Amino acid sequence: MKFGILVNEGPYTHQASDSAYHFTAAALRAGHEIVRVFFYHDGVNNGTRLSVPPQDDRNISERWSALAEAHEVELILCVAAAQRRGLLDGDEAKLAGKDSDNMAPGFQISGLGQLIDAGIQADRLIVFGD
């Protein structure tokens, strides 16, 4: 089956991003296809490479990056939601005159159209949120 995944909550604050990760990893292990993982609302905070969680805790953004590398999963942050919350890739940072970007490997910034497209392409769009 083809799944689209929507993550609407930030890491550590809320279970949603953990559940989305575990669902996505399990679906891939079971041989399903992940059309795209789309991060919206505070979910965009999953894509920062500057998070430094305690060593005895999971590293949520690194976990997503590893999944993207192993399975070529598309991880997309909504551009409008990301800009509001200070999640910037190199181009965005340059454009906005900021001194740094903070995107974790494997994440990309794109528009909300990618969410709608995931809904159209996928057999099921699964929403993880509050």
Partner 1 sequence: MATKKFLYVNRKAPHGSIYALESLEVVLIAAAFEQDVSLAFVDDGVYQLLQNQDTGKLGSKNFSPTYKALGDYDVSKIYVDQESLEQRGLNKQDLMPLVYEDEDDDWAEKDSIHVVSSTELAEIIEQQDVILNF
List alpha helices for 1-130, DSSP H.
15-29, 60-71, 79-85, 90-95, 113-121
Measured from the CB of residue 21, what is the shortest distance to partner 1 in angstroms? 19
Measured from the CB of residue 41, what is the shortest distance to partner 1 in angstroms? 6
- From the list 27, 34, 78, 104, the catalytic residue is 78
Query: How many Å separate Cα 35 from the centre of its chain?
Result: 13
Q: Choose between 6 and 68: whose C-beta lies nearer to partner 1.
A: 6
Q: Choose between 62 and 92: whose C-beta lies nearer to partner 1.
A: 92
Longest dimension (CA), the chain: 44
Measured from the CB of residue 118, what is the shortest distance to partner 1 in angstroms? 9
**Cα distances (angstroms) measured from residue 95 to each of 17, 46, 81, 109:** 29, 22, 16, 14
Q: In what order do the strands lie in the sheet with 33-39?
A: 107-110, 75-78, 33-39, 2-7, 124-128
Measured from the CB of residue 18, what is the shortest distance to partner 1 in angstroms? 18
Return d(Cα 33, Cα 43) in angstroms, integer: 21
Chain positions contacting partner 1, by CB under 8 A: 6, 8, 40-41, 80-81, 111-113, 115-117, 119-120, 125, 127, 129
78 is catalytic: yes
Catalytic residues: 78
